[in-house]
Amino acid sequence: MAEVPIESITLRGGAGALAGWAVDPPLGTPNLGTVVLVPGFTGSKEDFDFILPLLAAAGYRAVAYDQRGQWQSEGPDDVAAYTMADFVGDLHGVVEQVSPDAPVHLVGHSFGGYVSRVAVVETPARFRSFTLLASGPSSVEDIKFPPPRMVAQVVESAGQEFLRQQMSDAMAAAGQTLSPERAEFLHNRIVRTEKANILGILRCMEAPPLADPAALRDAGVPLLVAYGDTNDLWDPEIHENFARQLRAGTAVYPGIGHVPNEDVPAQVTADLVNFWKELA
């Protein structure tokens, strides 16, 4: 497979610069379109570092970015600047910057899927497809996650360090192990992420991102629901039912948890590419 290096890019956001990564198809490879990938709660563009080169090798320009206040992106220290409308506005702006003349394929992981589904409903013509990657219906019911307001109270009092420790303990309880380098990166990322970003996202998570899933179904954008069937935040039957409501296709990863993009990137990439080829 041809080498496809990742390029660091800077994008304009509504509250400052957004740090991004972009990978172009190798020279001589037909460009089949642009893919935008949106990370979730406490995430960043690095959540897609395995997938980006694979997508480029398959013929797609692939772009991922840190949402406002995440990791290397700028963001204010005021929680009021982290509403769903703010995150969605940034996504609209990213799409316009990376593909002003053509709709993009959109992939949203977890909370990134919340932001993405609102954007799709608002401007469906800007999207060739939308994939919800480990991104269930809501964070208020049928989810294995503490109530967002409770988590926010803990973060307010104990800060990001405590939240990172809780997440590490949950991973260990699920049998997941990290290399020292990966553990250091995750620690540095959450410490560098604005506390207001974390609290703002938790506020957004207190209500479903869309009052009625039918709005996403009826937007007319082809949909795929992709998820691991083990230790995800939502049980498989929740994802299955959500996909039925949306009349979406599904891709399931046996034995995989909340980050199939990291655990089985080749399979996720293959499923995405097959999904997009069916639309051609």
- Whether 68 and 16 have beta carbons less than 8 Å apart is answered as yes
- Measured CA to CA, the distance from residue 215 to residue 224 in angstroms comes to 15
- Whether 200 and 70 have beta carbons less than 8 Å apart is answered as no
> What is the residue-averaged pLDDT of the chain?
94
User: Does 177 have pLDDT greater than 80?
Assistant: no
78: number of Cβ within 10 Å? 12
- Measured CA to CA, the distance from residue 253 to residue 44 in angstroms comes to 22
Q: Which stretch of 113-117, 185-189, 222-226 has the lowest confidence by average pLDDT?
A: 185-189
| Domains within the chain, CATH numbers bracketed | 7-279 (3.40.50.1820)
Residue that has been written with the tokens 């553990």 in this structure: 183
User: Does 218 have pLDDT greater than 80?
Assistant: yes
- Measured CA to CA, the distance from residue 262 to residue 30 in angstroms comes to 26
- Quick check: helix, strand or coil at residue 280? coil
Which amino acid, one-letter code, is at 249? G
42-67 tens-digit pLDDT:
999 999 999 999 999 999 999 999 99
pLDDT cut 90: percent of the chain above it: 84
188-204 tens-digit pLDDT:
999 999 999 999 999 99
The number of angstroms, rounded, from the C-alpha of 10 to the middle of its chain's C-alpha atoms is: 18
- Measured CA to CA, the distance from residue 171 to residue 158 in angstroms comes to 20
Order of strands across the sheet that contains 61-65: 7-13, 16-23, 61-65, 34-38, 104-109, 127-133, 223-228, 249-253
User: Does 81 have pLDDT greater than 60?
Assistant: yes
pLDDT cut 70: percent of the chain above it: 95
143-165 tens-digit pLDDT:
999 999 999 999 998 888 878 77
Lookup: tokens for 237: 């039957």
- Measured CA to CA, the distance from residue 102 to residue 88 in angstroms comes to 19
What's the confidence (pLDDT) of residue 170? 67
| Burial bucket for residue 268 (CB in 10 Å: 0-12, 13-18, 19+) | buried
Average pLDDT for 245-271: 97
What's the confidence (pLDDT) of residue 2? 52
- Measured CA to CA, the distance from residue 47 to residue 190 in angstroms comes to 13
What's the confidence (pLDDT) of residue 162? 76
What's the confidence (pLDDT) of residue 160? 81
